[in-house]
Chains A and B, each alone.
Chain A
Amino acid sequence: MDTTPAVRVRGLTKRYRGVLAVDGIDLEIARGQVFALLGPNGAGKTTTVEILEGYRDRDAGEVEVLGEDPQRAGRRWRYGIGIVLQDASDLTELTVRETVRHFARYYPAGRDPEEIITAVGLAEKAGARVSTLSGGQRRRVDVAVGIVGSPALLFLDEPTTGFDPSARRQFWGLIRSLAEDGTTVLLTTHYLEEAENLADRVAVIAGGVVVADGDPGTLGGRAGAQATVSWLEDGQQRTQKSHDPGALVADLTSRHAGVVPGLSVSRPSLEDVYLDLIGSTER
């Protein structure tokens, strides 16, 4: 088992016509990890990911993806990489089966196309033209193409944008099963819920820099932050922040002689932390 990180980035910098898009980013993604990259539009997420995918050249910094520099890596390196693009609208006239079979040919040892089609939940649509599929089904084709070479590292750029909630949950199941098989996943998303559900680790990018990087449960001091306790008293909503919500609840319980009406205790959500991190102006 390889113990070098799947992705290692140090001081990554990229300018477009003199404007800094990425300003010295450091990232490290361990093998087998599901890593979510969060950030508002224009934060530098897609630029960063496209540099890692070998689509763009960087201006400065060190980048190693599966042990190689994507800027110089060749076809062999691509055998280990799977890419699910954000806004592909190609392949419309081919059927799902033709598409997956075709892309399997690019790899010396591609997976069985039928098995992949079943894995992404499109077995019933295998003979249908891609142009006739729903948005969610289309993305599944993109994922099928991305994983047909059994990549060690899979890039997913905003994979569930435009999905309805049930399609999103199904899609998460698919990504989890890939992660269970040991695939390293780099996911960018706008949905905090998605990052919380899927990711082992989260980094937040804003203005071209990493503003936070950590476990989704503790990101931005989330676990240690004050909890908000709220309850009803004299028909009115009361809230109080506390470092020790247990004591406050015990106190309330004794005051109300048992049942505290409308009691809730909440920590800041990942979304609260996120919005705080990227600054309220970015909302």
Chain B
Amino acid sequence: MTATSTTSGPRARQGRAPSAAVLGLHRGVIELKCFFREWDNVAFTFALPIVLLLLLGSVFSGVYEGSTVTSAQYMVPSMIAAGIASATFVNLGISIAADREDGTLKRLRGAPMPPSAYFLGKIVMVLVISLLEVVLIVALGVVLFDTALPTEASAWFTVGWVFLLGVVACSFLGIAASSLARSERSAGAVMNLPFIVLAFLSGIFFTPIGALPDGLTQIGALFPMKWMGQGFRSAFLPDSILAQEIVTTSWETGRTALVLGAWCVAGLLLCLATFRWRGKRDR
């Protein structure tokens, strides 16, 4: 008797094993349903950047010296970066910590699910949420703050790659950080603290970035959000606003791609080193 026949027993199975890709897509649908049905998720990670844009965008008025850009218009592309970070880093950090605590991970490990399907589902979820977030922020900018959409294909290309590299880097960091939270309840705090601090240091909640003290922007420049904000501003804003950036002569496109790409690799390595299927209380 072979090993395979012992597993099938009296009820021999037909049909092929479902592929990880198909299961991952199904998981993505399930994850999205759960996300939008849970009010605190939506408020915490989806609505926060939009609400902040509405508040901060309406507080300050006037244009920056030497340009026609208002502070609200400056904030729109910057807030896209924060929106992505929230939809990926904060959202994944909280949702995976919750999955670990409420038994989701345990149940899935006990089911015949390839582990990659779980992560693929999370990626599908954050891609959809991030896209929605970006569309909403840009729409608000256009309607309320007269944000001009980029007209050149090269600018849209920049939006595309900054979006993709930003989503991937921040997602990996969120997955890695999910292991830091001791429980689902503490995960919100654990994830939001670095998010808010970095959004401040990246010139997103405090504008323009060039007005921040050097020491602070140097810390911000170590992390992806600063480069995402800068990348989106390069696509949405005229070059006349460069005077308000840290490096006032260039958008540093190459360096942006390099830093974000490096964070994608580092984030993946961190995930592989730190991901735990089991919770701290479940040893």
Task: Enumerate B168-185 residues with CB–CB distance to A below 8 Å.
Answer: none
User: Contacts of A54 on B, CB cut-off 8 Å?
Assistant: 110
User: Contacts of B26 on A, CB cut-off 8 Å?
Assistant: 102, 105
Could you say which of B10, B14, B38, B107 contacts A90, with CB atoms under 8 Å apart?
A: B107
With contact pairs A94-B30, A102-B30, A106-B23 given, residues A67 and B6 touching in the complex (Cβ less than 8 Å): yes
Surface stretch bound by A, among B76-84, B96-104, B159-167: B96-104
Within the assembled complex, what's the spacing in Å between the Cα atoms of A75 and B108?
12
User: Contacts of B107 on A, CB cut-off 8 Å?
Assistant: 83, 85, 88, 90, 145
Task: Enumerate A52-89 residues with CB–CB distance to B below 8 Å.
Answer: 53-55, 66-68, 75-81, 83, 85, 87-89
Decide yes or no whether A259 CB sits under 8 A from chain B. Answer: no
Chain B interface size band reads 35 or more
Could you say which of A75, A89, A93 contacts B33, with CB atoms under 8 Å apart?
A: A93
User: Contacts of A1 on B, CB cut-off 8 Å?
Assistant: 10
Within the assembled complex, what's the spacing in Å between the Cα atoms of A105 and B111?
11
Within the assembled complex, what's the spacing in Å between the Cα atoms of A109 and B17?
9
User: Contacts of B283 on A, CB cut-off 8 Å?
Assistant: 16
- Residue interface bits B110-121, CB-to-A below 8 A is 1, else 0: 111110000000
Within the assembled complex, what's the spacing in Å between the Cα atoms of A16 and B110?
22
Decide yes or no whether A98 CB sits under 8 A from chain B. Answer: yes
Task: Enumerate B1-23 residues with CB–CB distance to A below 8 Å.
Answer: 1, 3-11, 13-18, 22-23
The reply to whether A4 and B6 contact each other, CB–CB distance below 8 Å, is yes
User: Contacts of B280 on A, CB cut-off 8 Å?
Assistant: none
- Which A residue's beta carbon lies closest to that of B17? A108
Could you say which of A88, A106, A108, A150 contacts B16, with CB atoms under 8 Å apart?
A: A108
The reply to whether B102 and A106 contact each other, CB–CB distance below 8 Å, is no
- Which B residue's beta carbon lies closest to that of A4? B6
The reply to whether B18 and A105 contact each other, CB–CB distance below 8 Å, is yes
With contact pairs A1-B10, A106-B113 given, residues A90 and B30 touching in the complex (Cβ less than 8 Å): no
Within the assembled complex, what's the spacing in Å between the Cα atoms of A54 and B103?
16
Decide yes or no whether A91 CB sits under 8 A from chain B. Answer: yes
Decide yes or no whether A140 CB sits under 8 A from chain B. Answer: no
Decide yes or no whether B149 CB sits under 8 A from chain A. Answer: no
The reply to whether B9 and A2 contact each other, CB–CB distance below 8 Å, is yes
Decide yes or no whether A149 CB sits under 8 A from chain B. Answer: yes
The reply to whether B110 and A105 contact each other, CB–CB distance below 8 Å, is no
B99 to chain A, nearest CB (A): 7
User: Contacts of B109 on A, CB cut-off 8 Å?
Assistant: 55
- Residue interface bits B13-44, CB-to-A below 8 A is 1, else 0: 11111100011001000100110011000000
| Besides the known contacts A2-B6, A90-B99, A105-B26, 9 further A-B residue pairs in the complex with CB atoms under 8 A apart | A16-B283, A31-B9, A55-B109, A68-B7, A75-B112, A85-B110, A94-B33, A107-B13, A109-B13
Residues on A lying within 8 angstroms of B by beta carbon are: 1-2, 4, 16, 31, 53-55, 66-68, 75-81, 83, 85, 87-94, 98, 102-103, 105-109, 129, 145, 149-150, 152, 182
